[in-house]
Amino acid sequence: MITEQQDKTATAPHGFDLSVTSGLERYSVQHGELTLTSVFQPVFSLSHMRAIGYEGFLRAHDSLDRPISPIDVFGEAARVGELLQMDRLAQALHLENFALLGAEREWLFLNVHPGTLIEPYHAAALLANLLRLDLPPRRVVLEVLEAEATDLDALAHAVAEFRERGFLVALDDFGAGHVDIGRVWQLNPDIVKLDRIMLLHAAHRADMAATLPALVALLHEAGKLVLIEGVETEQEAQLALSCNADFVQGFFFARPAPGITDAVHAQAVIADATERFRQQTEARERGTASRLAPYVRAFERAAERLGAGESLEEVCWNFLALDHAARCFLLDANGRQAGRNVVLRVDRAEHDARFLPLDDAQGANWLRRPYFRAALVAPGRVHVSAPYLSINEALPCVTLSMAVQVGDRLCVLCGDVDWLAEEVD
- Asked whether the predicted pLDDT for residue 347 surpasses 80, the reply is no
Q: Domain boundary at 242, 261, 280, which?
A: 261
Which of 261, 280, 304 terminates a domain? The answer is 261
205, pLDDT greater than 60:
yes
Same domain, 252 and 356: no
pLDDT at site 350:
55
Give yes or no: residues 360 and 417 share one domain: yes
Q: Read off the CATH number of the domain in which 312 is found.
A: 3.30.450.20
The answer to whether residue 270 sits within a structural domain is no
User: How far from each other are the two terminal CA atoms of the chain, in whole angstroms?
Assistant: 55
Stretch 31-57: mean pLDDT, rounded?
A: 96
Mean per-residue pLDDT, 395-418: 95
In this prediction, residues 94-106 reach a mean pLDDT of 94
pLDDT mean over 313-319: 94
Which CATH number do you get for residue 43?
Answer: 3.20.20.450
Contacts 24+ apart (CB under 8 A), 389-393: 390/326, 390/416, 391/358, 392/326, 392/327, 392/341, 392/355, 392/358, 392/361, 392/416, 393/351, 393/352, 393/355
| Residue at 283 is within a domain | no
- Of the chain, the percentage scoring pLDDT greater than 90 comes to 72
- Is 136 found in the same domain as 56? yes
Residue 285 counted as domain residue: no
If asked whether residues 299 and 255 sit together in one domain, one would say no
pLDDT-based confidence at 210, cuts 50/70/90? confident
Q: Rounded mean pLDDT of 93-101?
A: 95
In a domain, 173, yes or no: yes
Same domain for 316 and 358, yes or no, is: yes
Which residue has better confidence, 20 or 51? 51
Residue 197 and residue 309 in one domain:
no
Determine contact, residues 372/412, Cβ cutoff 8 Å: yes
Residues 371 and 413 in one domain: yes
On the question of pLDDT at 20 being above 70, the answer is: yes
CB 299 within 8 A of CB 379: no
Q: What is the mean pLDDT of residues 21-26?
A: 78
- Cα–Cα distance between 300 and 384 in angstroms, integer? 12
- CA distances in angstroms from 377 to 298, 332, 374, listed in the order given: 22, 14, 5
Q: Does residue 5 have a pLDDT over 90?
A: no
Give the number of domains in the chain.
Answer: 2
pLDDT for 96 equals 95
Structural domain for 400, as ranges: 294-424
Same domain as 307, residue 250: no
- Asked whether residue 231 falls in the same domain as residue 337, the answer is no
Tell me what the mean pLDDT of segment 220-235 comes to: 96
Query: Is residue 276 domain-resident?
Result: no
Residue 374 lies in a domain: yes
- 245 and 361 in a single domain? The answer is no
The larger pLDDT score, comparing residue 119 to residue 149, is at 119
Model-level pTM?
Answer: 0.85
Q: Are 297 and 289 in contact (CB under 8 A)?
A: no
Task: Give the model's pLDDT for residue 152.
Answer: 87
Q: What is the predicted pLDDT for the residue at 181? A: 84
Residues 197, 109: one domain?
yes
Considering the domain architecture, whether residues 111 and 250 belong to the same structural domain is answered as yes
In-domain check, residue 268: no
Within-domain flag for 74? yes
